[in-house]
Structure formats: C-alpha cells, structure tokens
Structure 1
Amino acid sequence: MGTTQVEFYWRPGCPFCAMLRRGLRRSGLPVREVNIWSDPEAAARVRAVADGNETVPTVFVGERALVNPSMREVEDAVRAQAPDLLRTAAPARRRWWPFAR
C-alpha cells in the first residue's frame, strides 16, 4: 500500500508552520495536519526524527521525514516517495507543479 497523504506536524504560533501550511493547502495534495501540542504521540514522532527536539514544521511523506522543510523540499519528496499523490491532488490547486495545466 502506498502513501495516501502528506503528514504535516505543526504547533500554534509557529510562523514557519503557517507559511508551509499555506503552500500545502494551495498544492491540493491530501494533507493530514497534526498539532503536536494536542497529540503526545505526534510530539514523540517529531522528536524521534529531530534529534530529540520538537522542531516544527515536520513533514512525513511515506517514511521520509523532512524537518523544517521548504515547499520545494516537500514537492521533491512527493515526486520521489509518493508520485501517486500527484494524481489525487485537486486539479484546480496544483499550479505549483510545473507540469500541471
């Protein structure tokens, strides 16, 4: 079974999270947003990939973890790890993909 969504771990008040959230929402990709302050297991998952820190935003594309990524890094990870997500992205919102029409 492939990856069905991008997992976006964030916390309230984080400006970097807000910036990446805007890009993810515009992308049309299926995204699961998880507030690490509301979910102790999510916070632990972030710490496991961020040298023990609760660094957000942290994004998972399949098993690949991206700590404080740019939207471009997320795009590259989706292309490499979960290309099927490109077909599920909302067509009207995929403008940032160079091959989208």
Structure 2
Amino acid sequence: MMRAWILPILLVLCGSVVAAAQIVKGDVGTAAVLLLVFLLLAGVNSPLIFPKSIGAQEAQRRSAVDGRPVVFWRPGCTYCMRLRLRLGRDAGRAYWVNIWRDAAGAAAVRAANDGNETVPTVVVAGRSHTNPDPGWVREQLSRAV
C-alpha cells in the first residue's frame, strides 16, 4: 500500500520545498503556482484517480458473468494514467486490479507478458492485451452487458 504513495508524497514534499524557497525570496505568487502544479502532479500520480481496485479473482469472476474488461494497473504508470484519463467516465465500468496490492493480479500479468509486469494489461474474454488503445477498450466496454 505504501509503495503506491511514495511518488505522490515526494511530489508534495518537493513542491513544498520549492514553494518555501520562493516565499523566502518574496515571490508568493510563483510559490502558489508551483505548489499547485506539484499538488496536481501528485494527484495524477496517486491511486485516487483510478476506480476502486478489486482482487484479480473477483474481477475475473465478474468479467466472466458480464463480459466487462479487467484492467491490471499499478500506481505511477504513465500508460495506466493515459488509459484511465482517455476512458473518462467509462473507466468505472471496467474492473481495475492494482497489481501492487494483489499478488494474484501481478501473477496474471506476468503470465500474460512473458514474466514481465507490463501494465496496463487488459483482459477481455480470457485474452490478454498489453497496453491497448483506449478507444479499443472503450469499444469493449460498450459491448459488455
């Protein structure tokens, strides 16, 4: 759990230091802007922008019932963020599995990617797709029940 928050915490701390240095120089406006930028970066890199993660076994069970894709992801992954942001509101319809919190999810990703934990890995109808196009994932979501 803590590993997912290391980058966001570091971004907040660095932003605070940079903003404090600007305040000491007397440039409060720049300090506020820089702190805001670092806070936004921390938010985007945090697990908060992703839908609630569930376990791999539960996600695969649910997917077998309704056909929705299972997305294996990890915090800090730029490709995962791209997929999440490009899916928009539709992202909540997929089943998201954080491989840093779920050992079975990490094992499933390694099995699909020759031993590598390459994410995002999307599973649709039992077939794995590594770093698929967000438009394709959206299409799969629209086909699901």
What is the TM-score of this pair, normalised by structure 2? 0.49
SS in 2 for 1:69: coil
Whether contact under 8 Å (2:87, 2:138) holds in the other structure is no
Structure 1: gaps (5+ residues): 89-101
Aligned AA (2:72):
Y
Structure 2: gaps (5+ residues): 1-63
User: Are 2:122 and 1:50 equivalent residues in the alignment?
Assistant: no
Whether contact under 8 Å (2:90, 2:138) holds in the other structure is no
Query: Which aligned segments of 4 or more residues in structure 1 are displaced greater than 6 angstroms?
Result: none
1:64 maps to what in 2?
127
| Inter-partner Cα distance in structure 1 for 2:137 and 2:131 | 10
Whether contact under 8 Å (2:109, 2:116) holds in the other structure is yes
Cα–Cα, structure 1 residues 25 and 7, in superposed 2: closer, same or farther, change >3 Å? Answer: farther
User: Are 2:75 and 1:18 equivalent residues in the alignment?
Assistant: no
Cα–Cα, structure 1 residues 38 and 29, in superposed 2: closer, same or farther, change >3 Å? Answer: closer
| Inter-partner Cα distance in structure 2 for 1:72 and 1:13 | 21
Whether contact under 8 Å (1:11, 1:37) holds in the other structure is yes
1:39 maps to what in 2?
102
Cα–Cα, structure 1 residues 63 and 26, in superposed 2: closer, same or farther, change >3 Å? Answer: same
Larger Rg: 2
Whether contact under 8 Å (1:36, 1:42) holds in the other structure is yes
CA deviations 1:63-93 (Å, max 9, x no partner) are 12110111133245x28xx83x1xx5xxxxx
1:9 maps to what in 2?
72
Q: What is the CA RMSD across the aligned residues, in angstroms?
A: 2.3
| Inter-partner Cα distance in structure 2 for 1:24 and 1:36 | 20
| Inter-partner Cα distance in structure 1 for 2:101 and 2:70 | 15
| Inter-partner Cα distance in structure 1 for 2:105 and 2:125 | 15
What is the TM-score of this pair, normalised by structure 1? 0.67
Q: State the Cα distance separating 1:4 from its structure 2 match.
A: 3.7
Structure that is richer in strand per residue: 1
